[in-house]
Amino acid sequence: MSRVSDGQVIYRSPAATELLGTAKSSFSHFAQAEDRADFVTALLPDARVDNMRVIGVRANGEHFPADLSARLIDYRGDDVIVSNIEDLTKELAIQAELDRQKDQLFQAEKLSALGEMLAGIAHELNNPLSIIAGNAEILHEELENSPQERRIDKLSQAAQRCIRIVRSFLSLAREEPLDLKSVQISDLVANAVDAVKPDADKAKVSLNVKNTEPCQSILADDVQLTQVIINLLTNGVHAIQDSGVGSSVSIDWTCSGSELIIRVADNGPGISNDIKGRIFDPLFTTKQVGKGTGVGLAYCHRIVTAHNGKIWLEPGNTPGATITCSVPLVEDDQREILPK
Ligand SMILES: Nc1ncnc2c1ncn2[C@@H]1O[C@H](COP(=O)(O)OP(=O)(O)O)[C@@H](O)[C@H]1O
Ligand SMILES: [Mg+2]
């Protein structure tokens, strides 16, 4: 119970004292002065407030989310507030956890449905697209040096892009078994850099291979792991190209202990905190329709995990973004039993 006029506490139950301490003024139970003002404003017209959300202050000074209900009474000639405050900390934590689980379940269901649909569409598109691309290729040769050449060129490039998108959907949807071989990381990186170089050049972004330290071989599916590196490099190039911030994407690796660590870093705009938790989600993209599919990092995650490795975004707000993968190195005794 507290007085409206000056906030002075007239009575406090033992439970309230345990939660809020023994301050003389009820003002100090509110973390924000506006909360108390809003509370009184809401209370005065009807002499009641039910379930108002405020931020309370615990006996030890900590803030907590609270639910506040009150009645205004006349007590010995004074306007007095009789209020009931409930600590919502646990309830909100449980609610947040439930929401998270529901979200995850929803996400998983959505993905499996989407995955099936995408795989179906991609499958259907694959053949006609190959025909378009193939014929464009033939026409290109036939029309060389003619005025139509540029148009055919564009047609061909667009068809190739569609084919790449369709393939990326297919590879995400269908879990191809790993075809493991003993491979050298330097070879994979060289192939990936070759693949990304034309796009990087066009975007005036330099690709730097920072490290050529020879490493022990790894047991990996070379095609799929190369694709992982291509995706990471491409993301760096796109981020720089789209934002106009930054100029280079670099890749380096170290083989210390039993792990190969591969890092792809760019000096682009970086990844903002509010999307950090979602970049590995399938179909999450911030890019325009046609440019991003949101499949890249989800694919990387799946492939690296299938190699018993890990992939993560480096924390911290250094300029640009750095994605690191770790993959186990092949033990010496394992190496002898590997197929040549
Ligand atoms: N190097 C990077 N710099 C900034 N943002 C990035 C980078 N890599 C990934 N992202 C963000 O993560 C999102 C998901 O990436 P990805 O799964 O590869 O899908 P996509 O590239 O098709 O959008 C991107 O849309 C982008 O917002
Ligand atoms: Mg991508």
Q: 138-155 pLDDT, tens per residue?
A: 998 888 888 888 889 888
Q: Alpha-carbon distance 229 to 299, whole Å? A: 11
Domain 181-335: assigned CATH number: 3.30.565.10
- Higher-pLDDT residue of 187, 334: 187
Q: Which atom of ligand 1 sits closest to the CA of residue 282?
A: 17
Does the pLDDT value for residue 194 go beyond 90? yes
Ligand nearest to the CA of 271: 1
pLDDT of residue 340: 39
From residue 317, alpha-carbon distances to 252, 272, 277 in Å are 20, 9, 14
pLDDT of residue 319: 86
Distance 231 CA to ligand 2 centre (A): 6
Ligand nearest to the CA of 284: 1
pLDDT of residue 85: 95
Q: Which atom of ligand 1 sits closest to the CA of residue 284?
A: 14
Architecture of domain 2-87: 2-Layer Sandwich (3.30)
Confidence band of 167 (pLDDT split at 50, 70, 90) = confident
Q: 25-65 pLDDT, tens per residue?
A: 999 999 998 999 999 999 999 999 999 999 999 999 999 99
Does the pLDDT value for residue 171 go beyond 80? no
Question: Which residues have a Cβ under 8 Å from the Cβ of 156 and sit 6 or more positions away?
Answer: 133, 136, 137, 140
Nearest residue (by CA) to ligand 1, atom 5, is: 271
Residue from 70, 66, 50 nearest 58 by CA? 66
Q: Which of 285, 299, 312 to mutate for ligand 1's pocket (most ligand atoms within 8 Å of CB)?
A: 285
- Higher-pLDDT residue of 322, 277: 322
Distance 244 CA to ligand 2 centre (A): 17
Pocket of ligand 1, beta carbon within 6 A:
231, 235-236, 239, 266, 268-269, 271, 279, 284-287, 292-298, 321
- Higher-pLDDT residue of 215, 193: 193
Boundaries of every domain in the chain: 2-87, 92-173, 181-335
Does the pLDDT value for residue 332 go beyond 60? no
Does the pLDDT value for residue 257 go beyond 80? yes
State whether CATH 3.30.160 applies to domain 92-173.
Answer: no
Residue 21 sits at φ, ψ, to 5 deg, of: 85, -165
